[in-house]
Amino acid sequence: MSETILSVRDLCVYFEIRDEGWFPEKKLLRAVDGVSFDLEAGETLGVVGESGCGKSTLARAIVALVPATSGEIRFDGQNLVGLDAEQLRQQRRHLQIIFQDPLASLDPRMTVGEIIGEPLRSFFPRMSAAERRTKVIEIMQRVGLMAGYINRYPHEFSGGQAQRIGIARALILHPEVVVCDEPVSALDVSIKAQIVNLLMELQQVYGISLLFVAHDLASVRHISHRVLVLYLGKVMELADSDAIYRAPRHPYTQSLIHAVPVADPRQARARPAKGLEGEPPSPIDPPSGCVFRTRCPYAVERCAAEVPALRQVGESRVACHLAEQIQSSS
């Protein structure tokens, strides 16, 4: 599990926003602002953060559904940022995505077989229909769908089954990396576990690397080897999922962990979940220095002046000037 398959360096995704008024200024929305990480073969990297932290944008930028403004996304030695359209299209075989809303990501006018088989048509145009069908059936069975469903339409399926269709479509090309953008958030509580288990199993079988983006810390903890914590487009902490939970070093990570209510009445009464005061600042006008400082209980002057770099502190990589001093508690 030591071969690096995807390498992201200083990835920035900025959007231009036009202001209101007679003489609109052009403002920049920094959705992803200098994110760097490595993804190893067969590893699951969880990405957590709250709404507006840029995790969905990051997910889409990695699979080039959203153009990156600057930085590097290295796969197989090639930088995907700045490739021309056709070269980029060729690389899509290796980096696939699963979406949050299972039914919205399936074309309602196509059959399951057509949906799952479409990637094959894009990259193997000379493949015969019969051969395509065989491959589609094979992958359907692998994800737990009956072959008999091949001629059905998306609206005939439940959310969990529709998500399996999406997973089958993502896997049919045997990609090396699969980005999962909140794949279980829209599913029923009793189905989430099925899909999470399925993803873990498929990872074992196919040796894929997963980038698991979600806001549910517990699911992320369960499925990931390592976790990346994002806030306002920047990386706050990057560590093994055990370390993130047991010994979170960044104040934001600590707040996140403390905010999750414990599913145990006695513990919960003793230590109720604690929220974070205030609102996240706007990604159009982020605070200077450390973006978290406006809500951080430990902020000092240095935090406003200097952007903290991501550095190794104990078991984690943390972007905080005070990481060594702060008690890592959980």
Partner 1 sequence: MAPATLLEARQLTVEFTTRGRVVHAVTEVDLDLAQGEVLAIVGESGSGKSQMLLSMLGLTAPNSRVKGSVRFDGQELLGAPEKRLNQIRARKIGYVFQDPMTSLNPYLSIGLQLAEPLRIHKKLGKAAAAAQAVEMLRAVHISEPEQRMRQYPHQLSGGMRQRVAIAMALVCGPEILIADEPTTALDVTVQAQVLSLLREARERLGTAVILVTHDLGVIAELADRVNVMYAGRIVEKGTVEDIFYRRRHPYTEALENSIPDLSDSRATPLVAIEGNPPDLSAVPAGCAFHPRCPYRLAMCDQAVPPLEAVDENHSKACFYQGELGRGAKAGG
Partner 2 sequence: MTREPRGVIATEAEAPLAAAPGRSLWQDAFARLRHNRAAMASAIVLIVIVVAAIVVPWISPYNYYTPQWALLDLPPTLRGWHIFGTDDLGRDLLVRVMWGCRISLMIGAVASVVSVGIGVFWGAVAGYVGGVVDSLMMRVVDILYSVPFIPFVIVLIVMFGRNLFLIFVAIGAVSWLDIARIVRGQTLSLRNKEFVEAARASGVRGPQIVWRHLIPNLVGIVVIYATLTAPAVILFEAFLSFLGLGVQAPMTSLGVLVSDGAGELQSFPYLLIIPAVFLAAIVYCLNFLGDGLRDALDPKDR
Interacting residue ranges for partner 1, rule: CB under 8 A: 50-51, 158, 160-161, 188-194, 196-197, 215, 217-219, 221-225, 241-242, 245, 255-269, 272-280
- Minimum CB separation from partner 2 for residue 141, in Å? 7
How many CB atoms within 10 Å of residue 1?
A: 9
Indicate the residue type of 279.
E
H-assigned helices in the chain? 55-62, 85-91, 112-123, 129-142, 159-171, 189-206, 217-223, 241-246, 251-259, 265-270, 301-305
Q: Any bridge partners for residue 227, and if so which?
A: 46, 239
Side by side, which strands form the sheet with 26-40?
Answer: 26-40, 4-18, 70-75, 78-79
- Minimum CB separation from partner 2 for residue 256, in Å? 27
Partner from partner 2, partner 1, none binding residue 275, C-beta < 5-8 Å depending on class: partner 1
Q: Applying CB under 8 A, does 123 fall inside the site for partner 2? A: yes
Phi, psi of 110, deg, nearest 5: -110, 150
Of 17-25, 106-114, 258-266, 316-324: span binding partner 2 (CB under 8 A):
106-114
- CA–CA distance, 18 with 212 (Å, rounded to integer): 32
Q: Applying CB under 8 A, does 201 fall inside the site for partner 2? A: yes
Q: Applying CB under 8 A, does 61 fall inside the site for partner 2? A: no
Q: Applying CB under 8 A, does 198 fall inside the site for partner 2? A: yes
Q: Applying CB under 8 A, does 223 fall inside the site for partner 2? A: no
Q: Which of residues 161-180 bind partner 2 (CB under 8 A)?
A: 166, 169
Alpha-carbon distances, residue 7 vs 2, 139, 146, 236, 252 (angstroms): 13, 28, 37, 18, 25
To which residue do tokens 């806030």 refer? 231
User: Is the CB of 21 or the CB of 125 nearer to partner 2?
Assistant: 125
How many CB atoms within 10 Å of residue 327?
A: 7
In the list 30, 55, 132, 142, the residue contacting partner 2 (rule: CB under 8 A) is 142
Of 32-40, 99-107, 270-278, 279-287: span binding partner 2 (CB under 8 A):
99-107
List of residues contacting partner 2 (CB under 8 A): 60, 63, 65, 89-90, 92-93, 96-97, 99, 101, 104-112, 118-119, 121-123, 141-144, 146-153, 155-156, 166, 169, 194, 197-198, 201-202
